[in-house]
């Protein structure tokens, strides 16, 4: 592995569903589209040449609309689905070459999963569900009880250990799912639409809880969602899929400011940019000279800076990070950032037309 910070690498991953995927793969590599593959070969293209590096201690969000391939992709990371071709490297080792024993050990000890539908055992108590990962390793209740209770407390369910899943709300059940993943002490957490079944306010609370825990624990998290607001809130690295292929990936702020494709441009068109974009993404990286109107944090939203400026377009601010001046931001820069950019593909097409 060339980068020690990369925990998982996905390399040239393909998944084709059908009777003869190996033969269909040749057509896909030759340029056959998902729609044409279905029409001519009666095969479904699930994933098309996926390449992603998942960094240690970060939240990688994989998003797309229904049928984009995001849930298919996450299930390749623990081999719940076998690929047609490609590699999945965990700390430099291709797990597609591992035998059943090594894969079982990976799932039990190194890679936990939080599901959309909670996946709690109804006949087990909350405590027993939280300690399930350790129980599958042969630990008795007396041995895992303390660890399970610690994480139940941490997710706000202290005192609920003796309850059963049906006695809890949906948000509480998902907290048990997160506690179970944390009790396993796995390095990697896979979260497949983990908050999608929750009401909006509960969903926001769960997102805040995840970010709070991540700030403390620095897990390697792969999070699947179809919700762009959720993706922009959680992601350190964002991967956007369409029809089984990656359309664009990178730091979420950069994708929002510089869409690489008309599909991405349409995808982000309705986002409240002032509420999502951060000062660090649009500032000049030179501390200001002369007088300023005040100081703002590099991670503050543009919305908060607009409020500080009280609508005055001549305001300029010193940007601070951990007590040190790192840049300058002025109101005209903020206004420009609030106007959606054309995708690079569309801009190039417009330039060619004009020429």
| pLDDT one-digit tens code per residue, 30-73 | 999 999 999 999 999 999 999 999 999 999 999 998 889 999 99
CA distance 258 to 275: 17
**Dmax (CA) of the chain:** 75
Q: At what angle are helices 170-183 and 141-154 packed, to 10 degrees?
A: 120
The length of the chain, given as a count of residues:
355
| pLDDT one-digit tens code per residue, 215-245 | 999 999 999 999 888 999 999 999 999 999 9
CA distance 29 to 6: 27
Mean pLDDT of 143-160: 91
Determine the pLDDT at residue 225. 93
- With CA atoms as reference, report the closest residue to 98 among 113, 82, 112, 114: 82
Domain 6-250, classified CATH 3.40.50.300, yes or no? yes
| pLDDT one-digit tens code per residue, 263-315 | 899 888 888 899 889 999 999 999 888 899 999 999 999 999 999 999 899 99
Domain with CATH 3.40.50.300 in the chain: 6-250
In percent, the amount of the chain with pLDDT more than 70 equals: 95
| pLDDT one-digit tens code per residue, 119-137 | 888 999 999 999 988 888 8
Q: Which CATH number is correct for 273-337, 3.90.1280.20, 3.10.20.740, 3.40.50.300, 3.90.700.10?
A: 3.90.1280.20
Determine the pLDDT at residue 346. 57
Higher-pLDDT residue of 116 and 206 is 206
Determine the pLDDT at residue 308. 93
Token pair belonging to 333: 């820069």
The pLDDT confidence band at residue 1, using thresholds 50, 70 and 90, is very low
Give residues with Cβ within 8 angstroms of 288, minimum separation 6.
Answer: 316, 317, 318, 325, 328
Task: Give yes or no for residue 345 having a pLDDT over 60.
Answer: no
Determine the pLDDT at residue 15. 97
Task: Give yes or no for residue 352 having a pLDDT over 80.
Answer: no
- With CA atoms as reference, report the closest residue to 321 among 282, 273, 274, 287: 287
The pLDDT confidence band at residue 91, using thresholds 50, 70 and 90, is very high
Determine the pLDDT at residue 349. 61
SS3 65: coil
Average per-residue pLDDT for the chain? 90
The pLDDT confidence band at residue 354, using thresholds 50, 70 and 90, is low
SS3 134: helix
| pLDDT one-digit tens code per residue, 108-121 | 889 998 877 778 88
**C-beta of residue 8 within 8 angstroms of C-beta of residue 188:** yes
Task: Give yes or no for residue 185 having a pLDDT over 60.
Answer: yes
User: To 5 degrees, how large is the angle CA 106–CA 7–CA 246?
Assistant: 105
Domain with CATH 3.90.1280.20 in the chain: 273-337
Token pair belonging to 338: 């609030």
> Distance between the two ends of the chain, CA-based, in angstroms?
45
Higher-pLDDT residue of 203 and 44 is 44
């Amino acid at each position: 592995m060339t980068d020690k910070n990369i925990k998982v690498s996905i390399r040239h991953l393909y998944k084709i569903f059908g009777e003869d995927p190996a033969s269909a793969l040749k057509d896909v590599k030759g340029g056959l589209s998902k729609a044409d593959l279905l029409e001519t070969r009666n095969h479904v293209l699930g994933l098309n040449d996926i390449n992603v590096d998942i960094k240690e201690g970060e939240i990688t969000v994989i998003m797309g609309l229904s049928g984009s391939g995001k849930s298919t992709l996450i299930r390749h990371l623990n081999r719940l689905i076998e690929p047609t071709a490609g590699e999945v490297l965990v700390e430099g080792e291709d797990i597609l070459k591992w035998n059943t024993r090594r894969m079982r050990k990976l799932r039990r000890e190194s890679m936990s999963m939080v599901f959309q539908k909670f996946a709690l055992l109804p006949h087990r108590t909350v405590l027993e569900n939280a300690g399930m990962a350790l129980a599958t390793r042969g630990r008795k209740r007396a041995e895992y009880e303390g660890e399970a209770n610690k994480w139940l407390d941490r997710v706000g369910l202290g005192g609920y250990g003796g309850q059963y899943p049906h006695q809890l709300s949906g948000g509480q059940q998902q907290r048990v799912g997160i506690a179970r993943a944390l009790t396993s002490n796995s390095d990697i957490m896979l979260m497949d639409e983990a908050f999608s079944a929750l009401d909006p306010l509960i969903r926001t609370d769960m997102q805040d809880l995840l970010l709070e825990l991540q700030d403390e624990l620095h897990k390697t998290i792969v999070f699947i969602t179809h919700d762009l607001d959720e993706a922009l809130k959680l992601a350190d690295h964002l991967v956007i899929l369409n029809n089984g292929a990656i359309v664009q990936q990178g730091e979420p702020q950069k994708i929002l400011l510089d869409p690489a494709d008309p599909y991405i441009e349409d995808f982000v068109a309705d986002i409240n940019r002032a509420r999502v974009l951060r000062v660090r993404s649009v500032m000049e990286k030179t501390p200001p000279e002369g007088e300023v109107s005040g100081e703002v944090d590099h991670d503050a939203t543009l919305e908060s800076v607009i409020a500080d400026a009280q609508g005055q377009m001549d305001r300029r601010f010193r940007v601070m990070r951990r007590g040190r001046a790192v840049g300058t931001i002025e109101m005209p820069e903020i206004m420009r950032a609030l106007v959606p950019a054309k995708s690079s593909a569309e801009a190039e097409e417009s330039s060619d037309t004009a020429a």
